[in-house]
Amino acid sequence: MSEKKHEHSLVSTLDQYFTAPMPGDHFIAALEQRILSSEENPVKIRRGKIWNIPQPAFLLFTASVVLIVAFLVIGPTKVRAAIENWLRYIPGFGLVDQESAIRTLAEPVSQTRDGVTLTIKQAVLSTSRTGLVYTLKGLSPQAVAGESIEAQKKACHAAPILVLPDGDQLHSIGNGSNGYDAEDAYQVMVFYLPLSGEIEQATFVLPCIPGTIPGRAPENWELPVRFVSGPIDGTVTQLKVEQVPTNTPSQDSPPVILDQVIETNDGFIFLGRFQPLFPNSRVAEASQGYVPSIRDAAGKAVSYRIPDDLLTDQDNSGSFFWAYEIQAKDIAWPVTIQFETVGIACFDDQAAFTLKAGANPGEGQVWDIGQELTAGACSIKVISVKRNHDGYSFLITGLKHPLRHLNLEIAGFPASRYSIRDYPSYTEFRLVYDHEVPENEMNIVVSGVIIDVSGPWEISWQPGDKTR
Amino acid sequence: MEFFLQWSKTSTDLEETDAEDDVLVRPAIKNRAAFAPLYKRYVVRVYRYVYSRVGNVAEAEDLTAQVFEDAINSLTKYRSQGTFAGWLFTIAYRRCADYHRRPKTGIISEKLSGEFFSDPLEQVIHQENFRRLDKLLSELKEEERELLRLHFASRLTYRQIAQVLRRSEGAIKVAMSRLIQKLKSRWEAENE
């Protein structure tokens, strides 16, 4: 069995494994009546103090547009000098747009209780998010829950909260990297939404220490923190982000684009995107197929990691944004990042065909369809349809490119369950009905088509490269 | 198969759904009856998620009811900085966390014993696959199993999962990618 088939088989099995039975119609109707008929309770939405800040990808996109205009207007030399001050990378925190917009912790804050010391060590407040580093020291091993499922069920899973001066609570939106610092204290970076510049202080509240057994470690921590603006001091590492000159991205551009390179102490980080290959399509977000290989000039594989703090949200261009970090400098340059296969999704389009099954079709009856369908850039062929005792099986294949996925439904007749099976030359989509199986003339709608397009596509870079 | 987008809506649809949800929430805050579209949109997905946690129809129905009652009673706390789906599943996640029942293993064999696979050979193959998957999942950390539940049972986007688990979207992408790769390598190893 090929690697691809392993993956398909695993993912299909996972999909079926986690498909629970549908709730009963009676339950859905009764619950709807119960919750909707309760007493009305008009209320207001409170306005928070949190800025409504665009997502990082949007900021980067905007920065790119401004950059291109600036190149045209004032010339590349001055622009290059200017942009080197625009973006900085703070390891563990991510990209920041301007140093002047950054605030940090006024001073570290510490509290010791029952031998456990909690320290708020540093904070970085940018226009895109708030990051806060805290450390824990002196925790007894007996206080820490084990890794078994049962132990983890009993452990504390609370996340620290930032309480603002007006009482609003800011819940964390995620954790950054964690580990042990130079003083052997356990260090955690926690992220929150960006804070308004007017907020100069807050209270860091930790109901219990994550991973500990309730009652075995001090609880209900509250530490006041203050934020100050101004240049970042030496406690926060900043790395320069090199913009890689590129033409205006368009449909004629190579699909793989390297946007930025960051030189770290022991290597480089590459940030870029994979552009859609066809109009009105997007590079599907998923893991498999997007894991590239990175090789040096001698063809030797270079190991890499994905820096969590540099992965941006997807934007509306349909591109897949990537970031890979290599911890190597003394290698045969240039390095080449190569993608072998990508999934291209034609989400904006759907296709349909008609199945005239007649009344009372017999179990096992097969209709040869042989119809080609096109959903945007994705083209497929419906080979045949088979009637099962509890529904229908559809045999479908990709035309120009292998089919990875599609959604299939009989219009007006949502199925109770479905299953997918891959065969060498086609995929079987099986719709199952718990109750009445639709018959007669049916409109079969196909959407969400994803095809696997093979490359390879690659991009090379070496230190000192001014062009790709 | 593209594991993220099966069965329910595509991610583009889901982005649009997030925006639609925000529009639907406003009237629902003032008038419970206006919550109906949101209820209809999410009841099946919430039920499936809850069922994947408790593995019992009666308990899943009870918990699903509690989730929606919690949601409609605390709509005021919903802020559009996140997504409504993420907010709703955070309620479901917490409800289930308080409700430690039997683990996921065993649920599938219950489901498999039904009529889903009419071909006996197919049923045997799938039961064997599920048995192997049961074993692989039992070796994962609970937080990894939770990622799979939110992904496959709830059909949440990375962004929505990130909201539920209070992690960054990037971190969820990375975690999911690594998790699938890990499962895949073990799955392949068992095949050889």
Q: Which of A383-387, A421-425, B169-173 has the highest mean pLDDT?
A: A383-387
Compute the distance between CA of residue A278 and CA of residue A115 in angstroms, rounded to an integer.
61
* Residue A28 in domain: no
pLDDT value at position B178?
Answer: 81
A interface mutation test: which of B4, B6, B96 has the most A CBs within 10 A? B6
* Rounded mean pLDDT, B171-182: 82
The answer, yes or no, to whether residue A53 has pLDDT greater than 50, is no
If asked whether residues A80 and A130 sit together in one domain, one would say no
For residue A424, what are its two tokens? Answer: 């060498």
Distance (Å, rounded) from C-alpha B158 to C-alpha A285?
9
Assigned domain for A294 exists: yes
**Which DSSP category does A329 fall into?**
S
Mean pLDDT value of segment A210-218: 88
Give the pLDDT confidence of B14-71 residue by residue, as tens digits: 445 666 777 788 788 777 788 888 898 888 889 888 888 877 777 788 889 889 988 8
8 Å CB contact between A312 and A272: no
Does A343 sit within 8 Å of B5, measured CB to CB?
A: no
Report the distance separating Cα A323 and Cα A306, nearest Å.
6
pLDDT of residue B90: 84
Q: Which whole number is the average pLDDT over A63-72?
A: 45
Q: Which residues contact A106 (CB under 8 A, 6 or more apart)?
A: A225, A226, A227, A228
Residue A113: per-residue pLDDT? 95
More confident of the two residues B135 and A381: A381
Domain coordinates in residue numbering, chain B: 11-102+140-191
- Domain B11-102+140-191 class? mainly alpha
Residue A380 reports pLDDT greater than 90: yes
At A116 the pLDDT is 94
Cβ within 8 Å of A, B 53-112: 57, 60-61, 64-65, 68-69, 72-73, 75-76, 78-79, 81, 97, 100, 103, 107-108, 111
Q: What's the rounded mean pLDDT across residues A446-459?
A: 87
The residue of chain A with its CA nearest to that of B7 is A407
With cut-offs at 50, 70 and 90, classify the pLDDT of residue A438.
very high
Residue A236 placed within a domain:
no
Q: Is the pLDDT of residue A38 over 90?
A: no
Residue A447 has pLDDT above 90, yes or no: no
Lowest mean pLDDT among A353-357, B78-82, B147-151: B78-82
Per-residue model confidence (pLDDT) at position A287: 40
List Cβ neighbours of A297 (8 Å cut-off, separation of 6 or more): A331, A332, A333, A334, A335, A336
Residue A56 has pLDDT above 80, yes or no: no
| Residue A252 confidence (pLDDT) | 66
Looking at CA atoms only, how far is residue A41 from chain B in angstroms?
A: 7
Domain membership of residue A94 (yes or no) is no
Q: Are A357 and A387 in contact (CB under 8 A)?
A: yes
User: What band does B81 get if pLDDT is binned at 50, 70 and 90?
Assistant: low
Per-residue pLDDT at A19? 66
Please check whether residues A312 and A420 belong to one and the same domain.
Answer: no
State which amino acid sits at residue A302. V
Alpha carbons within 13 angstroms on the beta-carbon side of residue A51 total 15
How far is residue A88's CA from residue A68's CA, in Å, rounded to a whole number?
19
CB-CB neighbours of A48 under 10 Å: 16
Q: Which residues of A touch B152 (CB under 8 A)?
A: 14-15, 17-19
DSSP structure string for B109-163: HHHHTSSS--SHHHHHHHHHHHHHHHHHHHTS-HHHHHHHIIIIIS---HHHHHH
pLDDT at B160 over 80: yes
Highest-pLDDT range among A3-17, A278-292, B83-97: B83-97
Q: What share of chain A is helix, strand, coil (3-state, %, to 5)?
A: 15, 40, 45
pLDDT (mean) for A403-428? 81
Contacts of A78 (CB under 8 A, 6+ apart): none
Question: Is residue A55 predicted with pLDDT exceeding 50?
Answer: no
Inspect the interface and report whether the beta carbons of A19 and B153 lie closer than 8 Å: yes
Q: Which domain holds residue A179?
A: 99-229
Number of domains comprising chain A: 4
What would the pLDDT profile of B91-142 be if each residue is shown by its tens digit? 888 778 766 533 333 233 233 333 344 455 655 666 677 778 878 887 888 7
Tokens read off for B10? 């595509």
Q: Is the peptide bond before A334 cis (omega within 30 degrees of 0)?
A: yes
E strand or H helix that includes residue A431:
strand A427-432
A171 bridge partner residues: A161
Which has the higher per-residue pLDDT, A222 or B72?
A: A222
Check if the beta carbon of residue B35 is closer than 8 Å to that of residue A38: no
Nearest CA in chain B to A305: B174
**pLDDT value of position A13:** 77
Q: Is residue A198 part of a domain?
A: yes
Among the candidates A183, A200, A229, a domain finishes at: A229
Measured between alpha carbons, how far is B107 from B85 in angstroms, rounded to an integer?
25
Distance CA A152, CA A457 (A): 44
Asked whether the predicted pLDDT for residue A356 surpasses 90, the reply is: yes
Q: What is the ipTM of this complex?
A: 0.78
**Weakest mean pLDDT among A25-34, A329-338, A402-411:** A25-34
SS3 A425: coil
Averaged confidence pLDDT in chain A: 78
